[in-house]
Amino acid sequence: MIKAGIIGATGYAGAELVRILMRHPEAEVKWLVSKSYVGERFSSIYGNMFRIIDEDCLGEDLPQLAEEADVIFTATPQGYLSQLLTEEILEKTRMIDLSADYRLSDVSVYEQWYKLQHGSPQLIKKAVYGLCELHREAVKKTRLVANPGCYTTCSILSVYPLVAEGLINPATIVIDAKSGTSGAGRGAKTANLFCEVNENIKAYGVATHRHTPEIEEQLSLAANEPVTVSFTPHLVPMNRGILVTAYASVMDELTEEDIRIAYEKYYKDEYFIRLLPAGVCPETKWVEGSNFVDIGFVLDMRTGRVIIMGALDNLVKGAAGQAVQNMNLLFGLDEKTGLELVPVFP
């Protein structure tokens, strides 16, 4: 059995890791680490785990945990892992980081967007961006996985094939994204109170959201040239889910069949990516609680643009599910192991 430790186990992403790993046939959660709830029973924080997990939360000790765990998930704020991770720790265990500390290849870009000084820039080159469908073989060989963000996973996977095949003008990409409130984390914030969120929708991080350079870096790799996108996220009054609607001008006179062929070239064998039938638009309810990404598109002949839509659960494929998918790759397991989660509806 793979012995797993979770640092940040009492956040939403950490708790989702616990839920998924509890039914994983090849892994067991051995350490639940929480800075805020040391000594408290996990099931007292998450009542859904009553009589399922009886363990108490432990304090932070990354070097000691590295001695005992086969894999460590860090569901922690930006900057946490970069200040603690060392070559010695990586020699002893594998790390899957759900923060942005190792997602960007250029440390100056990270420091510019996150307003943090990176604590271990020498380790960035050892990290692999853990978008499994695009970097599967590299993930298998690394000891440090940078688990992608939720907005980025949905945005990149939705647009990637058309950029890689040169079917759209990458300079025209506009991404409009909407997320449920769990994406903001479990911390108490006035902006996330029920009365602030309910019956409301709002844009935030306009032209400044920190997932922007992550999207741009991966799409630049697809295009073999620098790509700049307009990305605007919105907060909507639901618990889970991300819906991305992306717009781009097509390069030539394309048909919907041309576009579908491009998607099938990249995703026809990808279990977790569901390319929807023509005329069907993704809905967040169709992926809730699962590791699926649903993608649909419409070619607007009148404007010469393609409208691309993607939906995922921000806590599963956008965080914990993708982290477990990366773990499966690291340990030579079938990617679907422990992740064949049927979406919850309604």
Q: What is the pLDDT of residues 218-230, one digit of tens each?
A: 999 999 999 999 9
SS3 state of residue 295 = strand
- Residue range 168-197: mean pLDDT, rounded: 90
Once rounded to an integer, what is the mean pLDDT over residues 174-189?
A: 90
pLDDT of residue 183: 87
Mean pLDDT of 186-207: 90
- Give the integer Cα–Cα distance in Å for 113 and 95: 23
Q: In angstroms, rounded to a whole number, what is the distance separating the alpha carbons of residues 145 and 299?
A: 36
What mean pLDDT is predicted for residues 251-274?
96
Closest of 160, 161, 157, 153 to residue 179, by C-alpha: 153
Give the per-residue pLDDT at 78.
96
Percent of all residues in the chain with a pLDDT value above 90, rounded to a whole number: 95
**pLDDT-based confidence at residue 188 (cuts at 50, 70, 90):** confident
What was the pLDDT predicted at 121? 98
Residue 318 DSSP symbol: I
The amino acid sitting at 151 is Y
Average pLDDT over residues 173-195: 89
Residues 6+ apart with CB under 8 A from 104: 110, 113, 124, 213, 214, 217
User: What is the CB neighbour count within 10 angstroms for residue 83?
Assistant: 12
- Give residue 215's Cα distance to chain centre: 12
pTM of this structure: 0.96
Band (273; pLDDT cuts 50, 70, 90): very high
The model's pLDDT over 130-139, given as tens digits with 9 standing for 90+, comes to: 999 999 999 9
pLDDT score for 333: 98
Q: Decide if pLDDT at 40 tops 80.
A: yes
Buried b (16+ CB within 10 A) or exposed e, 285-308: ebbbbbbbbbbbbebeeeebbbeb
Task: Determine the pLDDT at residue 31.
Answer: 96
> Is residue 338 classed exposed, middle or buried when 0-12, 13-18 and 19+ CB atoms within 10 A define those classes?
buried
Residue 17's SS3 state is helix
Give the pLDDT score at 103. Answer: 98
Is 164 a residue whose pLDDT tops 80? yes
| Contact by Cβ (8 Å): 297, 306 | yes
Q: Does residue 109 carry a pLDDT above 80?
A: yes
| Mean pLDDT across 111-125 | 97
Residue 72, pLDDT > 90, answer: yes
Question: CA 108 → CA 124, 298, 323, distances in Å?
Answer: 12, 37, 25
> Please, what are the domains in the chain?
2-126 (3.40.50.720), 151-314 (3.30.360.10)
Catalytic center residues: 150
